[in-house]
Structure 1
Amino acid sequence: MPSAAFRGRRRLGSLLAALPLLAAVAPACARTGDLAQAIAASDVAQARAALAAGSDPNEPLAYAESPLAHAVETQEPEMVALLLAHGAKPNSVDAQGLTPLALACERGGAAIVDQLVDARADVRKTGPDGVTPLAVCARYAPTGSVARLLAKGARADAVDARGQTPLMWAACAGNAEAVSLLLRAAARPNRVTRAGFTPLFFAIASGSAETVRVLLDAGADAAHRGPENTSAAQLAMYQKNWRAAQMLVERGGVDLIQRDRNGEQLLHAAAAGGDEPLVALLLAKGADPNGLTGPSRIAWVTEANFGMPPPPVPPTPPLLVAARQGQVAVMKRLVAGGANPAFVAENGVNVVLAAAAGQSAAALEAALALAPDANVADAKGTTPLHLVVGGGMHPQLPQMLRILAAHGARPNLANARGTTPAQLAEGGLATVKAAYDQVFGQKGAPVLASARP
């Protein structure tokens, strides 16, 4: 993704010499120091006096920064105008290879950009990484500055060292207006960076649905695959840019079956995110409400101090994903669309156990309406009450305990390790134990084990 190519700089203070200097050069250094101090203080009168006394407007200051660049960073148009009037060079380059125009674009000051352009700053001069002022303006500055640079001959499709164009920088910022302007200036919407991203991917990551729309209307390739074979729709799901995902699905050509790096189809990701309109659209387009997740392609690295990676998740349908995430409206939409409420995963988890593992009382109630057994157990004998008690304290815990009690949850059912929910409560946090005791009272007295009917 585009990143700020220009590091923040230390504000310059006094340039008084720290070491003894030759007497012959001391007056000149003093004048230079006066000018630097004036710029740092935004004192135009002092700067004018320093220049009148012989300060050189092009003599590098600390870090090889020019007085003009320093004035640009302080965002003082009057100071910039004064330096330019006294012969400051608009195309001087600092130690990082940056020009005052590039800095002005980064700071986003339209007035200063205009001043530098009027002073014949080179709009095509690139930084050390090939980034043009136009690219920086496209991300940070008002759209008017982008238009001004284009009018002065900046190339709309210039490519930097990463293969990024100004259009990508504008898309990354979610600046739909700048994207439209660059497209009208012949920027190509399907350029691909060295890493494999197109402008559409940057727009999706920005969170701006309008920028995505502008690019799609201009012919952006929604079928392009980025790194790890990631599609634009999958990226929209990763970024929770639901409106962008909706546009991509509405326009067709989206693969509803392919699984992403997490092993999820689009419907799983939408169900987890809780966007009911998107879930409804995916179902209408033919997404399988009972489609299962596949194995994750994420390579986990185990470190001694951080335990083991999470166990693999068995094939899971969207309904269980939504239940775990507490997405009640999505749960109802999936069932209405044909999701099987009786599904049981390979590890014995059903919709009630999935909901109990989350922190939503409403989802637990909805799950019990679909599969009314509060004492269902997974392959390890874990019941919903085990999960709720063992999940720690959270705002929904008391209500979840009351729901399970109302549905006949038994606090003395032991799991495969011989532990009951009552024992979990007794050995857990004081707040959890108090909430548990309020609901179950003496019914929750610990026992070593009990037979399951």
Structure 2
Amino acid sequence: MRKRIAALALLLCASGAQARDPDALPRAIRAGDGEAVQAALAGHADANAKLAFGATPLGWAVQAQDAGIVAALLAHGAKPNVADAERVTPLALACELGNGAIVAHLLAAHADVRKAAPDGVTPLAICARYGPADAVARMLAGGAAADSVDSRGQTPLMWAAASGRTEAIALLVKAGADVNRVSKAGFTPLFFAIKSNVPAATEALLSAGAKADYRGPENTSAAQLAAYQKNYPAALLLVSRGADLTERDREGRQLLHVAAEAGDTALVAALLAKGADANALTGASKITWVTEANFGRPPPVVPPLSPLLVAAEKGQTAAMKLLLAAGANPHFVAANGENVVLAAAQGHSPEALELALTLAPDVNVATPDGVTALHMLVGGGMYPELPAMLHVLAAHGARTDLKEKHGFTAAKLADGGLGEVKAIFLETFPQKAGVSLAGAQGKPVRIATR
């Protein structure tokens, strides 16, 4: 009996010691020690104590992503709606970190799904972007407003679209979210979905009635935004829904030029099938640039280029073939003297260069400044495809003694350029005695093509 009383006394003393140690609970949470948390709570540690920056033990547990400790704190009376000094609630934090089990514990404890941050962002919006879809469903069922607007005019649907969360998109649309609401910056949920680069998100919003013809900032269309973001599957969806094929983007390109440059054969084929002009030229844009990236000034003027030249410049052989089959003119010459061969010399693709030379067989064609394809290759630096491209030019009879306007021949450029390029040049054109390895300068000489 005395032993039991002594043991009980020791236990009470230990509990009292824990209760008198205000750091026992936060220390246990920091250590991720669930047993120590339980012991501290059994010793009457305050589950709602104010910690650094106004946080609570529950907020710390959420931050630590420990679902077991979160459940223990809630079971011992932790208040789920107490925000920290920055007005972030445990639920908002849990949604941002995306742990479904923690979100579920908080919702079961009646965390307020309507409590917004000072900027108007709700837990639903955060969960729509980062959290699990079932949590979005539970929040909507618990009274969260599907179409609430934050200080930027953004809705939960926009948040979901921004990260391509198709399940959340479907739930919000079903709950009545406006698929065509416009944010203060001028973006609709469709624009956010396009920027997410998740094609299924774009498709979900279009199927839900999003307006494909809405114009965003700088009068940008949805199809142009898809092209800017390199979201070519989304661009394909928009083309199938009647996107304007003739308008030019901020760089003066039509959609076909963009698709040809990217080498996206599905988009090129779809555009041609819809009637895009295989010989359309780039030109002046009606869009006024207002972004910081170019300090409010438009890009430099580029001579009008055909989709075929654009594809050749990027070495997109498959796109070139599609354009040719659709009637692209292989003999077009841009105002700066660039033809398909000179364009392909910039494309890092031996296959594209070979194709170009079958279309325009003059391997020594030059710009008005006397720059040939061989000048471009020798003066364009070292890259893996260079040996093969030089061999293509050699096989077609490229001359190494032609001078550009400054008097440089390709042989002279090789002699004073990069050692690697020079070695490849000598291997490809061994009969050119004017070049010797001993004379290598190791300094690159660049040839401007525009």
Displacement over 6 Å in runs of 4+ = 27-30, 299-303
Query: Are 1:48 and 2:42 counterparts?
Result: no
Contact 2:47 2:58 in 1 (8 A): yes
Q: Which among 403, 414, 421 is matched to residue 432 of structure 1?
A: 421
2:382 paired with 1:362 = no
| 1:328 shift after superposition | 0.3
Match of 1:174 in 2: 164
1:228 to 195, 209, 218: 218
Show CA shifts across 1:334-369 (max 9, x none).
111111111111110111001101211111111111
Which aligned pairs between 1:148-227 and structure 2 lie closer than 5 A?
A: 148-227=138-217
Identify the residue that residue 273 of structure 1 maps to in structure 2. 262
Measure the CA separation in 2 of the matches of 1:338 and 1:247: 24
TM-score, normalising length: structure 1: 0.88
Deviation at 1:30, TM superposition (A): 6.5
C-alpha offsets along residues 231-257 of structure 1, whole Å, 9 cap, x if unaligned? 1111111122221111111121x1111
Look up the match of 2:28. 38
1:163 CA displacement:
0.9
Aligned partner of residue 443 in structure 1, secondary structure: coil
Q: Deviations over 1:371-416 (max 9, x none)?
A: 1111011121110000011111111111111110111111010001
Per the alignment, in what secondary structure is the counterpart of residue 32 of structure 1?
coil
2:379 aligned partner? 390
Aligned match for 1:95, one of 66, 71, 85: 85
Residue pair 2:251, 2:299 contacting (<8 A) in 1 also: no
- Tell me if 1:422 matches 2:403: no
Structure-2 residue corresponding to 1:80: 70
Question: TM-score of the superposition, structure 2-length normalised?
Answer: 0.88
Aligned to 2:151, what secondary structure does the other structure show?
coil
Quote the offset at 1:191 in angstroms. 0.8
Q: Distance in 2 between matches of 1:139 and 1:98?
A: 17
Provide the rounded CA distance (Å) in 2 between the counterparts of 1:310 and 1:250.
30
Matches within 5 A, 1:296-445: 312-443=301-432, 445=434
Q: Which amino acid aligns with 1:258?
A: E
Structure 1 gap ranges (5+): 1-26, 304-308, 447-453
Indicate if the aligned counterparts of 1:274 and 1:322 stay in contact, CA closer than 8 A.
Answer: yes
Aligned partner of residue 441 in structure 1, secondary structure: coil
How far residue 311 of structure 1 moved from its aligned partner, in angstroms, is: 5.0
Instruction: Confirm or deny that 1:143 pairs with 2:143.
Output: no
2:78 aligned with 1:62: no
Name the Cα RMSD after superposition.
2.0
- Please report how far the alpha carbon of residue 187 of structure 1 lies from its aligned counterpart in structure 2 after TM superposition: 0.6
Q: Which amino acid aligns with 1:227?
A: P
What do residues 129-157 of structure 1 show as CA deviations (whole Å, max 9, x unaligned)? 11110111111111111101111011111
Gaps of 5+ in 2: 1-16, 436-450
What CA distance in whole angstroms lies between the structure 1 residues aligned with 2:246 and 2:331? 22
Percent identity at matched positions?
60
Residue of structure 2 in register with 1:22 after alignment = none
Conserved? CA contact 2:18–2:40, under 8 Å = no
Please state how far the C-alpha of 1:29 moved relative to its aligned partner: 9.9
Given the superposition, is the C-alpha separation of residues 184 and 302 from structure 1 closer, same or farther in structure 2, using an over 3 Å criterion?
closer
Change beyond 3 A, Cα 1:301–1:408: farther
Q: CA deviation at 1:48?
A: 2.2
Query: Are 1:163 and 1:194, in contact at CA under 8 Å, matched by a contact in 2?
Result: yes
Q: For 1:360 and 1:150, locate their aligned partners in 2 and report how far apart those are by CA, in whole Å.
A: 53
Which AA in structure 1 matches 2:230? K
CA contact (8 A) 1:170 1:176 kept: yes
CA distance in 2 between counterparts of 1:300 and 1:121 reads: 41
d(CA) in 2 for partners of 1:231, 1:76: 45
Q: What residue in structure 2 maps to residue 288 of structure 1?
A: 277
Q: How far apart are the structure 2 equivalents of 1:201 and 1:356?
A: 37
Alpha-carbon distance in 1 for matches of 2:155, 2:172: 10
